[in-house]
Amino acid sequence: MKRRKSNSLFRKFIFVLLSAGVLTASLFYCVIIKNNYKTQNGEKIYIEILKNSTIDVVIKKLNKHGNLGADWSFKLLSKLKKYDNNIKPGNYQLEGPYNNNDLINLLRQRKDHTFKLIIPENIRKYEDVFSLIEDSIGFADSSMTLYIKNSDFLTDNKLTLEKLPGIFIPNTYEFYSNISVSQFFERMIVEYEKFWNSERAAKCDSINLSQIEVITLASIIEEEQDRRIEERPMIAGLYLNRIKQQIKLQSDPTVIFANNDFSIRRVLNKHLRFESPYNTYIYFGLPPGPICIPSINAIDAVLNAEQHEYIFMCAKGDASGLHNFAITNREHNNNRAQYKKNMNFN
């Protein structure tokens, strides 16, 4: 009797164990494997995964363009499949629902087709920046302008159309093929935030300007001094003095930008009277946005501005490309007289 009872208990134990295993496997499949990822409205999307991305970054990107359902289940399966430590950079096309297993398998495929884009300095208007990028990448004409006007990109990133050129840091960038317009702008924000490392951010705070204001001032300095860049920190210090003392910047390059006539070689009174928020002879403070894409050198010149008391400057006019600096209006008038003499102006 005892032997039969023992066998019966053993069979029940095995049955319970098997049932628990089946239940666990079912739950694992339903919750971990089958959990579906759905793109927004079932549309085709592209997810760009950059080098050195973490699993949390991947999850954030997936959820931005769709819905993972249970993030933790995707993260757990990623760990079990060793994807979390072997994330492949690339631009991935996704469409329709995927279970976690299929989605991870797709993301494990390396996408190596890339191209390079050079964003140069000195481009003045955002329309020209867009045109250059559209031609280089192969976007449809005006697609970038349409995206900016029809999306929440500006408000989401606390930008205006005037400040927008400030996010383009001149450099050579590598992109994956089939990148979309929205992905391009997302990438520019990533690069912009990467540029503003802790050291630059701290220097920015120390001069009481926002990052876009630093870039706006750098754009003025870029246009003021494009020959003798060693003079840029001195000019930056001068403009910072004017801002602190609430003196109009009175920068000729802002007047040229306001007049939208880049053929102007000598700023005259008729140009100074042109009504525009970019005209710093009329309005106090910085213009509403950059007047060109400044070089990194010009940005760093603002962040490392020389401390002095100068508030005036005037070109020497001696072919050196340098300026005379002054503290008083009398000194400045003397420098102007010397400039006119050197240039043979009446």
In a domain, 51, yes or no: yes
Q: What is the mean pLDDT of residues 202-221?
A: 97
In a domain, 322, yes or no: no
CB neighbours of residue 163 within 10 Å = 21
In a domain, 5, yes or no: no
Task: Please tell me whether residues 203 and 164 are part of one structural domain.
Answer: no
- Reported as a single tens digit per residue, the pLDDT across 33-90 is 556 788 877 777 778 888 788 999 999 989 888 888 888 888 888 898 899 999 988 8
CB 337 within 8 A of CB 316: no
| Domain residue limits at 220 | 198-308
Side chain identity at 292, as an amino acid letter?
Answer: C
CB 132 within 8 A of CB 121: no
- Reported as a single tens digit per residue, the pLDDT across 85-139 is 999 888 787 887 888 888 898 888 865 567 889 999 999 999 999 999 999 898 9
Domain count of the fold of the chain: 3
Q: Tell which residue, 145, 171, 184, 225, has the closest CA to residue 48.
A: 184
Of 56, 81, 107, which marks where a domain is finished?
Answer: 107
Side chain identity at 58, as an amino acid letter?
Answer: V
Q: Which residue has the tokens 């140009």?
A: 271
CB 100 within 8 A of CB 185: no
Residue 281: predicted pLDDT: 97
3-state secondary structure (DSSP) of residue 117 = strand
Task: Please tell me whether residues 244 and 212 are part of one structural domain.
Answer: yes
Q: What is the mean pLDDT of residues 244-255?
A: 97
Task: Please tell me whether residues 303 and 205 are part of one structural domain.
Answer: yes
Task: Please tell me whether residues 90 and 50 are part of one structural domain.
Answer: yes
| Beta-sheet strands, E only, within 5-160 | 36-39, 45-49, 66-67, 90-94, 98-99, 114-119
Compute the distance between CA of residue 249 and CA of residue 253 in angstroms, rounded to an integer: 11
In a domain, 325, yes or no: no
Of 195, 224, 241, which marks where a domain is finished?
Answer: 195
The β-bridge partners of 47 are 92
Per-position b or e across 306-342, b if 16+ CB within 10 A of its CB: eeeebbbbbbebeeeebbbbbeeeeebeebbeebeee
Tokens representing residue 39 in the block: 């793109």
CB neighbours of residue 115 within 10 Å = 13
- Reported as a single tens digit per residue, the pLDDT across 160-206 is 999 999 999 999 998 877 788 999 999 999 999 999 999 999 999 99
Q: What is the mean pLDDT of residues 229-246?
A: 98
Q: Where residue 52 sits, what CATH number does that domain have?
A: 3.30.1490.480
Q: Tell which residue, 276, 251, 290, 302, has the closest CA to residue 159.
A: 290
CB 124 within 8 A of CB 64: no
CB neighbours of residue 1 within 10 Å = 5
Compute the distance between CA of residue 23 and CA of residue 30 in angstroms, rounded to an integer: 10
Higher pLDDT, residue 45 or 241: 241
pLDDT above 60 (res 5): no
Q: Is 279 left (phi over 0), alpha (psi -120 to 50) or beta?
A: beta
Task: Please tell me whether residues 209 and 296 are part of one structural domain.
Answer: yes
